[in-house]
Every structure is written in C-alpha cells, then in structure tokens.
Amino acid sequence: MAEKQSRLVQSARGIAGSLLLPGDKSISHRYAMLAAIANGRSEFQNFSTGADCASTLACLLALGCRIEHRDNKLCVTGSGPALKAPKFPLDCGNSGSTMRMLAGILCAQEFTSELVGDESLSRRPMARIIEPLTKMGAAICAAKDARPPLKISNAGALLHGIDYKIPVPSAQVKSSILFAATFAKGETSVEEPVRTRDHGELALGAFGAELHRSRGRITLTGRQQLTAIQAAIPGDISSAAFFLCAAAIFPGSKLIIDHVLLNPTRASLLDVLTGLGARIQVINLSEQHGELAGTVKIEYGVLRGTKISGPVSVALIDELPVLAAIAPFTSSGIEVCNARELRVKESDRIAMVTRNLRAMGATVEEHDDGWKIAGNQQLHGAEIDSGRDHRIAMAFSIAALRATGDTLIHGVESVAISFPEFFSMLDAIAQH
C-alpha cells in the first residue's frame, strides 16, 4: 500500500448536490473473473476504480487474459476455461474478494499457483474457502492457521461437485465454490444460513451458466462454457453509503445519487435510514443482467434510533462502520448485534470503531459482535487511526463533518482500496 497519509476534515454545515459513483466493487470483481474464463471479449462500462479490483485485473493479466481500455470501457478477453500458468505469485494486495474468489477458479486449473496478499490480507481467515474447495478435490496449502499465502496445486480435471452448507454467511465463499463448480464434474449445491449478496449467482447467469436457485440453495451443473457479456456496472452502494449517511445527519441536506446499485441483497441501508427517519425516494429504476439500479434522493429527517441484528447485520456488513459512526447523531442511538464478522475484515472493525468514537468523545459499549452506541451525543474533533482500513477512514470522515473542531484522519491513502474519488466527491457536496 502507498505511504501513510493524513487528512484534516473540518466540520460542515450541510450536504447538497448530485453524484454519479464508480462501479460496484463486488460486481466488478466477479464480472472480471468470469470474463477471464469465458469465450470472447467482455466489455464493462463504469468498472470499479478501486485498488482491490485493480488487484483482480493484475492477477488476471498474469494469468494470460487480455485487458484493454477502449472508449471508456474496460475490455477483458477470456481464454475459455483454461488460464495460463503465472510466472510469479499472484498479488491480491488488500483484497479478500480477489484471493477467495480467484482461488475457486485457480483450483480447477492444470497448473500450480500461489496467492499472496498485503499485511492485512495475510491475517485474514482462509479456512472458509479451503474446506469446501478441498472437499471438491482441490489441493490448497495455506500458511499457519489457514492464513495466506495460499499455494494451489494442479487438481485440474479432478474437481467434482459437492453438496455444501456454508457455516459462516459469506458471499465471497459462496462465489468461490460456485466458480469452482463451473469446472467440476457433476452437480454442486451450496446452501447459505443467511442470504448474502447474490452477485455471483447473477453474474454466472449473465455469462450463460445454467443454475437453479431456491430458498438459500443454489445448484449448478459443472463443465459449463461461459460466454462474454457487455455491461454497464451500477454505482457502488457501499460507497454511496458514506454520502447517504452524511446527508442523513444534517438538517436541510438534499443529495441525489444516480445509477446506483439497488440489488435487494445490498440495499438494506435505504430501509435502515428510512426507518431512522431520513426521507428517501428511489426513481429511474433499471435492470441489467439481473442487477437493479436507480436514482436515490435523500433529504434530512429527524433521526430516531434502531437496533440492527440477524440477517440485516449480514446484509449491511460493509455499511455498519459508517452507521456506527453516525449513531451519536441519532436521538436514541444504534445497537448492532450479530456482526462478529467485522472483527476479521481489513481491520478489526468493531475495535476500530469503538476506539475512534471514544477518541471523539462518545460513550460506546463494545460487545463481541457489535456495539451499543447512545444517541444525542456531541462529538469533538480528534486524531483518528484508520488502521489503514478504507471503510474506517471514510466512516470517520463522515462523523468528523458534524463534530465540533477539526479531525485529523490518519491512513487516508486506504480510501483508494474501494473509492479513490471519495475525498474529491466529499469536497463537492460538503458545505462549509
């Protein structure tokens, strides 16, 4: 990652304007990976600009794919299902999605490969993909405690279908298994305990795979050939979340975000903000390859409080840090439960949110699986340690807008992981 940088965020008077955001990260990873193993040239408009998706593209390039920028589009030319042996270890950078989902494709190739990551990724658990992929016949060897790097030996044609119940809800794990299943002999079924984002299933369908979905169970017959697609990727709703939460905490705010992803497995933030009291309107709905998009208009409304738990915590996993960061500005606070997964993200996001809210003067109760954050608290400017975690840096930039005094956020270079344009867009809509 780039050299550590800090940024001063000043308090603001309000939020106003309209924005169009770079493409959704989760969809961009999946489209690029499936394009790599499809026949023909896929073309994507509004591909994610984040470093995580750049890591995916760099790995695909090293695996022999052709990647070009043409007329504002990213073109990925696949080589059918067989990729080329990479000359060096594949660097996934900070991206858990790259490592976990690419492993599903690599374990079906007829060559040996190695996936490495940065310091943060090297601490993240990989047993969740090693277990099901090994059951399918893959040969994966990890470092201590099933952490990266991962060495994947050539299982090639030996993969076979499995019937697997995912123990921890994870869309990355689900996609990893399904991607491996397209190469495997026989049928694979995946069952998830709680519904997670379904971009993997939708993308496989878009690239021509036949799969069956019913009540948390997805079944796919292996050895299917994928075909290139053309797509305009909707704006990333998890990036939009920061600005929607910013608008929600300032009386008089009015913000419009065009062509943003509204896939129902990703858009729970709109329900939660509406439940809190924000005034939200969705217009101009469109759909492509099963992915719903539209224009979101948000206006301030007095924010009450809420408790987020169960499947809603799973659906909102990437938005919980920013919701926690604005909890003090609600009237009766926000409680989050069943979000233990936050501890194994790019940082321990439960600990990082607690530490930084306390640094800004808030009273926070930290639990093993979330927080209880009282409402009606005034925050003051402070020094924020983002832990070089993009979502922590962005969440506290939003809290800083309503704090008294200036806030210095350390490790802001990390925003480039998902959203390099974050600060320039924030400057465009924040009124000082």
User: Rule CB under 6 A: which residues touch ligand S3P?
Assistant: 26, 97, 170-172, 197, 317-318, 341
Which residue of the set 24, 318, 385, 389 is catalytic?
318
Distance CA 137, CA 157 (A): 10
Rounded least distance, CB 245 to ligand S3P, Å: 17
Structure tokens at 139: 């040969």
Which of residues 28 and 354 has its CB atom nearest to ligand S3P in the complex? 28
Rounded least distance, CB 26 to ligand S3P, Å: 3
Rounded least distance, CB 293 to ligand S3P, Å: 17
CA angle, residues 242, 406, 7, in degrees to nearest 5: 65
Rounded least distance, CB 122 to ligand S3P, Å: 16
Which of residues 114 and 341 has its CB atom nearest to ligand S3P in the complex? 341
Q: Is 368 one of the annotated active-site residues of the chain?
A: no
CA angle, residues 398, 401, 406, in degrees to nearest 5: 120
One-character DSSP codes across 22-76: PBPHHHHHHHHHHHHTSBSEEEEES---SHHHHHHHHHHHHTT-EEEEETTEEEE
Contact 156/136 with Cβ under 8 angstroms?
no
Distance CA 213, CA 193 (A): 14
Q: What totals of helices (H) and strands (E) does the chain contain, helices first?
A: 13, 24
Consecutive H or E run containing 381: none
Consecutive H or E run containing 344: none
Which of residues 139 and 194 has its CB atom nearest to ligand S3P in the complex? 194
Distance CA 233, CA 170 (A): 22
Rounded least distance, CB 97 to ligand S3P, Å: 5
Which of residues 25 and 410 has its CB atom nearest to ligand S3P in the complex? 25
Which of residues 299 and 341 has its CB atom nearest to ligand S3P in the complex? 341
Phi, psi of 43 (to 5 degrees): -130, 130
Which of residues 259 and 266 has its CB atom nearest to ligand S3P in the complex? 266
Which of residues 186 and 310 has its CB atom nearest to ligand S3P in the complex? 310
Which of residues 346 and 413 has its CB atom nearest to ligand S3P in the complex? 346
Rounded least distance, CB 341 to ligand S3P, Å: 6
Site of tokens 């060559």:
111
* Alpha carbon separation from 423 to 9, 17, 243, 359, 419 (Å, rounded): 10, 15, 11, 22, 9
Rounded least distance, CB 170 to ligand S3P, Å: 3
CA angle, residues 301, 304, 306, in degrees to nearest 5: 130
Contact 130/140 with Cβ under 8 angstroms?
yes
CB within 8 A of 407, min separation 6: which ones? 8, 9, 10, 360, 381, 382, 383, 384, 396, 397, 399, 400
Distance CA 143, CA 210 (A): 36
How many CB atoms lie under 10 A from the CB of residue 376? 11
Rounded least distance, CB 238 to ligand S3P, Å: 7
Consecutive H or E run containing 400: helix 390-401
Catalytic residue numbers read 318
